[in-house]
Copies of this chain bind each other. A is one copy, B any other.
């Protein structure tokens, strides 16, 4: 395979945030009806102007700058003192020990952690179990390193309300077929479902039995709605040896502009990740690392208020969407993604996504980014201004009617 072919598979044209690079399209000749007025809403990512960064984040950054050289040039795996500060907090949050020296790394965003973790576990020809649907970069990462993807379906639409719906038989079949790594997000991106304690226990048992490494992306694990139980894989009984957990403050805490994430777990994998970090971008941005001092140490009540407001927006949007005949949507248990299934339309899914943006000022991410079987769905990050997002949802409802088949 040529390098051109290798990169052809890394398409980003429909990736969230890249819409600005799309040129005009002949698809627009199939659009009809007037443009719908209203504040444009970009549901491809959260709005950090509507839900502002954690209080004190900028001050911590400023303190990092004041520290100077020691904060600018940290170990590749990140500042030792900050790791020592975070380890007990992550330990408390996840219910299992975190080794600040050898078992924790600061990364340039959660994306940075994912890239390093996959690069450190997946080599050419390795089989990797990947959930469908799941975060769109997972598939691309495996393909980039020459791995072979073994898909495992997440039957979230059929699952019980307290389960994610992972097809565990398919997961076991993937391990039997030789999958060395299982990579998944919990809460799931894009559906917002959370794996039950039983699902997590069975994933841990299967990975242990077949000797597989597990990379679990828990980016949204703090933004959980009322009544939802969350089980950390790393605290499961009979855990396999090679587990890496990934988190970061870019979403719930709105700190994406600082480019921060963490990876913690198996030292053997983290050692490889650090070696690779040394040639990828040296370290998580030095001064930004200081912002992590405030992570898991937010003002009293801040996190619960943020969760409550997101739950209200979630419920607003679900009510509007579910009033549209043929639209179905499972209620997200955590995170800020909605993944509704739309009825049959006269435009094909990609063109409808474009019509939403061009005619209604509503930017969403096509379902096919997350699974080849999700063409009828779109993903919306509802971490938005409450009134603007409700109005945008009404415009989306109107366009669904306009293009209903």
Residues of chain A touching chain B, judged by Cβ–Cβ distance below 8 Å, are 1-3, 6-7, 10-12, 15, 17-18, 20-21, 45, 47-49, 52, 58, 61-62, 64-65, 68-69, 71-76, 80, 107-109, 111-112, 114-115, 120-124, 126, 137, 140-141, 144, 256-259, 271-272, 274-276, 278-288
Contacts and interface: CB of A to CB of B under 8 A. Distances in A.
Contacts of A49: 68-69
Given A3-B272, A10-B272, A52-B68, 11 more contacts: A3-B121, A20-B75, A58-B62, A109-B281, A111-B282, A112-B280, A112-B281, A137-B278, A257-B286, A259-B281, A285-B288
A291 to B, nearest CB: 10
Contacts of A17: 73-76
Given A2-B123, A12-B275, A121-B3, A71 B281 contact: no
A373 B31 CA distance: 66
Given A3-B123, A75-B21, A76-B17, A11 B275 contact: yes
Copies in the complex: 2
A272 B7 CA distance: 6
Contacts of A112: 280-281
A53 B282 CA distance: 19
Contacts of A282: 109, 111, 259
Contacts of A108: 108, 259, 281, 285
A396 to B, nearest CB: 21
B257 A115 contact: no
Contacts of A15: 76, 278
B144 A276 contact: yes
